[in-house]
Chain A
């Protein structure tokens, strides 16, 4: 049980590390949102699954089982909330006129009139 927990937490920490590298290296705020999406979904799910197996290692009584259910509610709420928040943030960035980064500096979209 402990080996499974350590493996799950290590995999989750790898997702967090790759997301942090993307956050510091990518050139644009849209790319940075794409990078943090990895930590928002797989990182938090794998880390909390590993911590739940650590809790279940000491026994299966009722109180401990309730604790595991509470721990597994956190990624559920995060899966409901995180993509919605990212979508709203991207929509506001789009409406403010933040241009997406391209390699040769050319526009890839036709922007509506009136936007800066």
Chain B
């Protein structure tokens, strides 16, 4: 179980590189925000996996819950702010 969790975490870390690549590469600013939200989705799952590996899940679950709410609010504020800006 431990080996599978470490493998799944490394797999998710490798996938998040693709999201960061889209943030670096994206032609418009909307693409960058989409890549950022994808990385945020991965980070929530990764926090729970890290908590299960370390054996201190009751700490990391609270952080993941808070991070999911903050990611939602961040994307909403970015989209509302950038809709009145230039390209």
A82 to B44, CA, bound (A): 13
Q: Is the CB of B41 within 8 A of A36?
A: yes
- Categorize the interface residue count of chain A: 35 or more
Q: Is the CB of B35 within 8 A of A98?
A: no
Count of chain B residues with a beta carbon within 8 Å of a chain A beta carbon = 45
Tell whether A98 pairs with B28 under 8 Å between CB atoms, given A36-B37, A85-B79. Answer: yes
Q: A36 — which chain B residues lie within 8 A by C-beta?
A: 34, 37-38, 41
Q: A39 — which chain B residues lie within 8 A by C-beta?
A: 38, 41-42
Q: Within residues 18 to 39 of chain B, which ones have a CB less than 8 A from any CB in chain A?
A: 18-19, 21-22, 26, 28, 30-31, 33-35, 37-38
Residues of A that sit less than 8 Å from B by CB? 2, 6, 9, 12-13, 16-17, 19-20, 23-24, 29, 32-33, 36, 39-40, 43-44, 47-48, 51, 54-55, 63, 67, 70-71, 73-74, 77-78, 81-82, 84-86, 88-89, 91-93, 95-96, 98
What are 24 contact pairs spanning A and B, CB under 8 A?
A: A9-B4, A23-B22, A23-B38, A24-B18, A29-B26, A29-B30, A29-B34, A39-B41, A40-B41, A44-B45, A51-B52, A63-B58, A67-B58, A70-B62, A70-B65, A74-B44, A74-B65, A77-B65, A78-B44, A81-B68, A85-B76, A89-B34, A89-B78, A96-B30
